[in-house]
Amino acid sequence: MKKNNSVKVAAVQLPCVRDVQENLNRTMAAIRKAASEGANLICLQELFSSLYFCQSEDHEQFQLAETIPGPITEKISSLASELGVVIVAGIFERRAPGLFHNSAVIIESDGTIAGVYRKMHIPDDPFFYEKFYFTPGDLGFKCFDTSIGKVGVCICWDQWFPEAARLTALAGAEILVYPTAIGWQAPEKDTFGESQLSAWQTMMRSHAIANGVFLVAPNRVGLEDNIEFWGHSFIADPYGNIMTEADEHGPATVSADCDLTLIETARTHWPFLRDRRIDAYDGLTKRMLDDE
């Protein structure tokens, strides 16, 4: 699609409450504000419309899921059309009875759905019991050609896997978006909190560098049961520089002007894609290289 070289990107960081409508109202207000300040691409956090329910295995939580399109995506689509912006929104997708995904919907500036990404890597850790709720994605790693540029999306746990970022970039992504819900558990924060936050940002900045793309990481914030979500939503350029960053203290919307011509500059000066040994990577399809 035709696009401008400069795109203003925004990441919305919000605390969530039990009331879905209240979360939706807060999010839509933040989208409006970001659009009024010139944002062309507005990125929402993972599962933005509810509390992070994966802290326990509770069948009642499946009632939060909805189809795509569904009531929430239809409201976000209508707002995208009204404001003329592209929106990436994290959704608890009900695909069929008993079949659910942790998904992101990419909504075009005319309100149409440009595509869906389904989270590929599903964690199962204390208070992150996502395997109980979500089927791993089966759409692969994708790039969506939108009116503002080529947008790739992965979700939260995907961010720890360089293969996911690489394949999304190879599909053509110029801007890589990671809707996220990550935070500290109280017993660990004093000892590991700073290093956990640093590792999170370092990993994603490395994706921006290795692939020569802009990267957007909208994270939720606030205390929900056992997890203190740490916020720090940020946007990085293709050199891994953090262009803008929120703090951990409350709601925020951070934005940055992304000059897409910088991708060409970064990739020609740091030619990682050029020098890939595609003839030597067969081992990546194995668990370990000593597998028969």
By annotation, the residues acting in catalysis are 46, 119, 156
Distance CA 137, CA 120 (A): 4
Distance CA 150, CA 171 (A): 9
DSSP 91-107: EEEEEETTEEEEEEEEE
| β partners of residue 77 | none
Pairing of strands 149-153, 175-177: parallel
Residue 216 · residue 178 · CB < 8 Å: yes
Residue 255 · residue 244 · CB < 8 Å: yes
| R_g of the chain, CA atoms, integer Å | 18
Collapse the DSSP code of 173 into the 3-class scheme (helix H, G, I; strand E, B; otherwise coil) and give the result: coil
Helix (H) or strand (E) holding 77: helix 71-83
Which residue has 């000892």 as its token pair?
A: 191
Neighbour count for residue 180 (Cβ, 10 Å): 30
